[in-house]
Amino acid sequence: MSRTTSESGDGMISKDQTESPLGEEGSYGGSTNGVVLKKGPWTSAEDAILIEYVKKHGEGNWNSVQKHSGLFRCGKSCRLRWANHLRPNLKKGAFTQEEEQLIIELHAKMGNKWARMAAHHLNLGLMYSSFCSSQLPGRTDNEIKNYWNTRIKRRQRAGLPLYPPEVSLQTLQGSQQCLDINGMDSGNKGQHDILQTHNYGIPDVMFDNLKTNQNILPYVPELPDISASSIPMKGLCSSEYGSFMSPTMHRQKRLREATTLLSSFSGGMKNDFHLFDQFQDGDKAAQYFGFSFPFDPDSATKNPEIFGENQGSHTLANGNFSASKPTSEAVKLELPSLQYAEIDLGGWGESCSPSPLIESVDTFIQSPPTGTVESNFPSPRNSGLLDALLYEARTLSSAKNQSSDKSSNSSTITPGDNADCSALNISETEWEDYGDPISPLGYLATSLFSECTPISAGESSLDESPPAETLTGSKRKFGCSAECNMKSEPVDHTWTADRKKESYTQLDITRPDALLDSDWLEHDSGYGKDQVIMTEAIATLLGDDLSSEYKQMAAGASTDHGWGLDSCSWNNMPAVCQMSELP
């Protein structure tokens, strides 16, 4: 472990200094201009020096540490050491069950965004721990990453799905709700009054999720019925956690951090799809979700790569995958087999054999549609299975629309339309395709999880705890043989008004303006008072110089009803309010 550093400008020491008392351990890396960097484990003396330096000069400017303190470490190394070991409020030791589960959930949502997870971890922990006994103090990204990688290996070896079924279900539900709302929101403006009658508050969703977890995830402690107003937002910007968002942080930097922080509240439904980021073929996805392939023996024969017997193999190429790389880039765009051109939009009902569907899933993963059906929708950025499915669904809906539009001589969708308010426009009629058990997606999504057979394993981890609720599928079943691990209970998946209503109750947190919407505050409790509290909290979070800007914007939002701000006014909002995660 004696690598040489490639970085220039790192803290350097002269060669004749390498016999310093601080250098009794570790090695010395590359030398440039007669100075040598110390590498390897840190000594307590070095730690003390670094701590002293940070006390005096604060964090940042790491490359000057060596100059000022005589520490023979590069700035990078100092920063890492500080961030991972020396900075205050770090929690050491084994992860608690709550932490483990949170990591699993966050990973399902975010993918390998360790730093974001760590930040979220901290933030949620602060809020969460304020009203329940669980404590989730700061963990480092490195810790989380190490934990996760270890977990992957362990489960890979055990032939277990990476995510416990309940987390998979949660994530899919989340994305389903996303579909719901996207479909309803932009597709039918007339639904706004319905939307207005419900709460769309981000904190509500967050806590609703936690409450939901009480049903699904036994480890989540009982949550008191607490309104958003009770959340001690002040803790988020307390000096104790100043390292998270330093008051001296650059303005733009603080905005970024605020974005991260707030997006950790809003979760970003789009991020929900990261669960699938790691799967570049259906086999892995299936394995990770605990699906029991093959669905169809014939398909298994035809396509052993997908349905083969390698269930226990868990081949993660080198155990190495990246969620940050969009699938659309990571995969070849070849369009094998039956693919989109052959999909009969109207013919899902009768003779649709399972294998093409699953094959299509695989196809979706590997080859987001690129040309067969021209899409008016943005291609998936953080593509995963669901992203691809959503994308395809929209594409198909769009195509369907266009074809019907052609017959009815109605106008076609233009890119401008997309850019405006209808980027995710799926009409209610179209949406019925999703909910329709015989539609490709309704069929697919429900069926996928109907296959989700809990795997009982010797692992004592909570990961393997059986799901609290039976995962149900659609009425229609794949025509598989008895060897398939499929549940056969018929489940009503009819798209009912109740289901619609249920979907309305979910916050569209894909809408960044949701946070600014007044309704969730007003409907939930405390009316304007809560809004003020929330506004103040966020404003405080953003810092003095941004708070007025934010408050002004929030005040504007509060006078709006329904969505608070429509998409158009959203586009006109100051950049500070847009939380930067929009494309």
Partner DNA sequence: AAATCAACCAACCGCGATTCT
Partner DNA sequence: AAGAATCGCGGTTGGTTGATT
DSSP 38: E
- Quick check: 115 binds DNA (CB under 7 A)? yes
Residue choice 18, 31, 68, 85 for contact with DNA (CB under 7 A): 85
Nearest distance, CB of residue 582 and DNA, angstroms: 14
Nearest distance, CB of residue 6 and DNA, angstroms: 3
- Quick check: 120 binds DNA (CB under 7 A)? no
Residue choice 89, 135, 301, 322 for contact with DNA (CB under 7 A): 322
- Quick check: 464 binds DNA (CB under 7 A)? no
Alpha-carbon span 191 to 428, nearest angstrom: 10
The answer to whether the CB of 353 falls within 8 A of the CB of 347 is no
- Quick check: 57 binds DNA (CB under 7 A)? no
Q: How many residues does the chain have?
A: 583
Alpha-carbon span 451 to 157, nearest angstrom: 22
Nearest distance, CB of residue 234 and DNA, angstroms: 23
- Quick check: 150 binds DNA (CB under 7 A)? yes
C-beta of 38 vs 270, nearer to DNA: 38
Nearest distance, CB of residue 151 and DNA, angstroms: 7
Of 61-69, 290-298, 370-378, 534-542, which segment contacts DNA by CB under 7 A?
61-69
Alpha-carbon span 85 to 406, nearest angstrom: 63
The CA-based angle 223-114-118, given to 5 degrees, is: 40
The answer to whether the CB of 269 falls within 8 A of the CB of 205 is no
C-beta of 51 vs 223, nearer to DNA: 51
C-beta of 41 vs 416, nearer to DNA: 41
Alpha-carbon span 508 to 412, nearest angstrom: 26
Q: Could you tell me which residues come within 8 angstroms of residue 105 by beta carbon, excluding any fewer than 6 positions away?
A: 167, 170
Other CB atoms within a 10 A radius of the CB of residue 451 amount to: 24
> Residue 28: which H helix or E strand, with range?
strand 27-32
The pair of structure tokens assigned to 328 is 């659309």
- Quick check: 494 binds DNA (CB under 7 A)? no
- Quick check: 26 binds DNA (CB under 7 A)? yes
- Quick check: 575 binds DNA (CB under 7 A)? no
C-beta of 224 vs 247, nearer to DNA: 247
- Quick check: 521 binds DNA (CB under 7 A)? no
Q: Considering only residues 6-25, where is the footprint of DNA by CB under 7 A?
A: 6-9
Residue choice 154, 189, 381, 475 for contact with DNA (CB under 7 A): 154
Backbone angles phi, psi at 27, to 5 degrees: -125, 175
Nearest distance, CB of residue 477 and DNA, angstroms: 36
C-beta of 288 vs 307, nearer to DNA: 288
- Quick check: 29 binds DNA (CB under 7 A)? yes
- Quick check: 145 binds DNA (CB under 7 A)? yes
C-beta of 119 vs 179, nearer to DNA: 119
Of 152-160, 205-213, 422-430, 564-572, which segment contacts DNA by CB under 7 A?
152-160
Alpha-carbon span 501 to 376, nearest angstrom: 28
Residue choice 17, 61, 188, 370 for contact with DNA (CB under 7 A): 61
Residue choice 15, 57, 153, 501 for contact with DNA (CB under 7 A): 153
User: Distances in Å between the alpha carbon of 241 and those of 62, 220, 398, 414, 545?
Assistant: 20, 25, 47, 47, 19
Question: Max CA-CA distance within the chain?
Answer: 84
| Alpha carbon 422 to its chain's center | 23
Instruction: Decide the pairing of beta strands 35-39 and 27-32.
Output: antiparallel
Residue choice 94, 497, 568, 575 for contact with DNA (CB under 7 A): 94
Q: Could you tell me which residues come within 8 angstroms of residue 24 by beta carbon, excluding any fewer than 6 positions away?
A: 43
Residue type for position 473: G
The answer to whether the CB of 286 falls within 8 A of the CB of 345 is no
- Quick check: 281 binds DNA (CB under 7 A)? no
Residue choice 31, 32, 40, 454 for contact with DNA (CB under 7 A): 40
SS3 37: strand
Residue choice 15, 57, 250, 475 for contact with DNA (CB under 7 A): 250
Alpha-carbon span 149 to 151, nearest angstrom: 5
Q: Which residues bind DNA (CB under 7 A)?
A: 1, 3-9, 26, 29-30, 38-42, 60-64, 73, 75-77, 79-81, 84-85, 92-94, 112-116, 119, 141-143, 145-147, 149-151, 153-154, 157, 250, 252-253, 256, 318, 320-324
